[in-house]
């Protein structure tokens, strides 16, 4: 399995995704934490929409994404 950096160096689609995210950070549109949250949420929404849930959503994670931080 390739590391994220190996994917970045060898996969044009992955590189474009990373570059887009980095540009959003550099342009001060999003913080690195917001990018991580958006990535996680996109994965969860995809799994919910396709019906292929591959992991259990822990209450703490779902509460965090819904803004119910403790």
Query: pLDDT tens-digit profile of 9-58?
Result: 999 999 999 999 999 999 999 999 999 999 999 988 888 888 765 555 56
Is the same domain home to 16 and 39?
Answer: no
Please report the pLDDT score of residue 46 as a whole number: 85
7 falls in which pLDDT band (50, 70, 90)? Answer: very high
Is the same domain home to 38 and 14?
Answer: no
Is the same domain home to 12 and 25?
Answer: yes
Is the same domain home to 20 and 38?
Answer: no
Is the same domain home to 41 and 69?
Answer: yes
How many domains is the chain built from?
Answer: 2
Angle at which helices 12-26 and 32-50 cross, to 10°: 130
Could you tell me the residue range of the domain that residue 61 belongs to? Answer: 32-70
Is the same domain home to 10 and 40?
Answer: no
pTM of the model: 0.68
Is the same domain home to 20 and 50?
Answer: no
> Can you read off the two tokens belonging to residue 70?
């403790």
pLDDT above 80: residue 61:
no
């Amino acid at each position: 399995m390739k590391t994220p950096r190996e994917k970045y160096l060898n996969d044009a689609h992955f590189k474009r995704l990373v570059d887009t995210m980095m540009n959003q950070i550099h342009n001060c549109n999003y913080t690195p934490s917001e990018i991580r949250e958006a990535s996680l949420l996109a994965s969860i929404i995809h799994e919910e929409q396709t019906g292929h849930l591959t992991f259990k959503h822990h209450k703490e994670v779902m509460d965090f994404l819904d803004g119910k931080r403790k």
